[in-house]
Amino acid sequence: MKTIIPIGPYHPLQEEPEFFELHVEGERVEKLVIRIGYNHRGIEKLAESKTYDQVIFLVERICGICSTSHPIAAANALEDLAGIRAPERALYIRTVIGELERLHSHLLWLGLAGHFIGYNTLWMWAWKAREPVLDIMERISGNRNHYAMMKAGGVRRDLKAEDIPWVLKTLDSIKPDIDLFHKALDDDPVLHLRLKNVGVLTPEDIAVTGALGPTARASGVDIDIRRDEPYAAYDRVEWKVIVGSAGDVFDKAWVRVLEMKESIGIIEQCLRALPPGEIDLRLKEMPPGEGIGRHEAPRGECFHYVLSDGSSCPVRYKIRAPSFMNLTTNYIAARGETVADATLILAAVDPCYCCTERMAVVSGGRRRTIDGERLVEISRRKTLRLASELGVEPESTLKKNGPRS
């Protein structure tokens, strides 16, 4: 029997509504239809009526999670246009903010992924570990999100010397949490059964879709703008690009967890080697011409293009967020999988969309509206079934090694 399951477009947890329609034959997903644009705010058009300085604030409003990703890409684009490089100290500060954001974004994803499979302890602990990262953002920028730190030619706020020891200490406090998540991923048999070989993307699938970030790297595609086209201070510090191989949901989680450890290392090195000096070139005008700026956001390459005629506002401003590419992997990854795994697969690319606001099942011409928590429940039940088949408690590895006080 053919069933069509629409998911979306709105969910209060996510800042980016999308609509998925699962065409299901029996238990298996046969086809996926994706519609986006429900939250299209015409930001490219708006940018044409904003001054260059305002554009940075505007693009910071694109995303509520990786809110500094677009400002960094925009600063890179405007500096490419102007043919300048921000002062050294500003490059280090950009790197610190960019990596703090990766940390909290990956923790947010990890928690959500935990929730979708019924690992609610993981959910709570991941989000608990995220809080100190937001506290650091607040101490540095005054804001837990939308930090308003970036500008073309530098950064807007300096890092205070007296804050640095506190920031380092706060980062230390979440290291055991990340180790715990890493260990759970390595050792928990239920997680292995639930996440391995699910929603597999091959390197060819990544090439076909143009997928980016952890989604690409989990499939063994070794791309990362931070290394490939070094900007900010990424070429001044030691770190490595985390690359998986299996291309399944497990490797996507594994890549993100290990990336968090790299992020902490990058932040620590930047804070310890923060060079003195100016933080802003105080640019007054933009020349005519074009500029391209890229940033490796938590979800992959963020791409900005600017066309200038030398006036105070851009003639054209193009933005391509990584989810625009990553979402199309779902056409491939969800096909042939069960409905119980579909939520997880759609969530695995961290698309700023995961679960359902509402869900309606159309079956045999009859439409049945199902409670919003139902899809998560189907996924959760599969986890419980696997755990009971193994004769273990779900989240046993996690609970055995925690909680921390």
Partner 1 sequence: MNAQELKSELESKFPGGILSWEERSPHRVYAAVKPESLREMARHLYAGLGLRLSTATAAHILKGFEILYHFALDRGGVVLSLRVSLGEGPPAADSIADLVPAADWIEREMAELMGVEFRGRASTEPLLSSEEWPKGVFPLRKNGEIPDSGLQIGGD
The residues that touch partner 1, with contacts defined as CB under 8 A, are 35-37, 40, 42, 44-45, 80, 207-210, 223, 225, 228-230, 290, 292, 294, 301, 303, 305, 307, 315-316, 318, 320, 324-325, 328
Q: How far is the CB of 130 from partner 1 (least distance, A)?
A: 30
Q: Which is nearer to partner 1, 26 or 230 (CB)?
A: 230
Judged by beta carbon, residue 328 or residue 343, the one nearer partner 1 is 328
The residue (of 15 and 44) whose beta carbon lies closer to partner 1 is 44
Identity at 258, one-letter amino acid code: L
Burial class (CB in 10 A: 0-12, 13-18, 19+), 285: exposed
Give the nearer residue to partner 1 in terms of CB position, either 294 or 380.
Answer: 294
User: Which regions of 109-151 does DSSP assign to beta strands (E)?
Assistant: 150-151
Q: Give the nearest distance from C-beta 201 to partner 1 in angstroms.
A: 14
Toward partner 1, which CB reaches closer, 328 or 397? 328
Closer residue to partner 1 (CB): 45 or 368: 45
Least gap, CB of 229 to partner 1 (angstroms): 3
Q: Is the peptide bond before 9 cis (omega within 30 degrees of 0)?
A: yes
Question: Least separation, in Å, of the C-beta of 31 and partner 1?
Answer: 13
Tell the burial category of 25 from Cβ atoms under 10 Å away from its Cβ (0-12, 13-18, 19+): exposed
Classify burial at 366, counting beta carbons within 10 Å of its beta carbon; exposed 0-12, middle 13-18, buried 19 or more: exposed
**Least distance CB 378 / partner 1 (angstroms):** 28
Q: How many other C-beta atoms can be found within 10 angstroms of the C-beta atom of residue 403?
A: 12
In the complex, least distance from residue 225 CB atom to partner 1, rounded to whole angstroms? 8
Q: Which is nearer to partner 1, 7 or 387 (CB)?
A: 7
For residues 308 and 288, the answer to whether their CB atoms sit within 8 Å is: yes
**Taking the complex as a whole, how short is the minimal distance between the CB of residue 352 and partner 1, in angstroms?**
16
Q: How far is the CB of 292 from partner 1 (least distance, A)?
A: 5
Cα torsion at 93, 294, 351, 111 (round to 10°)? -20
Q: Distances in Å between the alpha carbon of 284 and those of 46, 73, 217, 303, 313?
A: 21, 19, 39, 24, 12
Report the number of secondary-structure helices (H) and strands (E) in the chain.
16, 10
CA–CA gap between residue 164 and residue 77 (Å, rounded):
29
User: What type of residue sits at position 295?
Assistant: H
- Distance (Å, rounded) from C-alpha 233 to C-alpha 270? 8
The residue to which tokens 């070139």 are assigned: 281
By beta-carbon proximity to partner 1, the closer residue of 29 and 77 is 77
Report helix, strand or coil for 300: strand
Other Cβ atoms less than 10 A from the Cβ of 70: the count is 26
Nearest approach in angstroms of CB 395 to partner 1 is 38
Query: Measured between alpha carbons, how far is 2 from 23 in angstroms, rounded to an integer?
Result: 7
List, in sequence order, every beta strand (DSSP E) within 49-205. 150-151, 154-155
Nearer to partner 1, 119 or 305 (CB): 305
- Minimum Å gap between C-beta 369 and partner 1 is 21
Which residue lies nearer to partner 1 by CB, 41 or 169? 41
Per-residue DSSP letter, 64: S
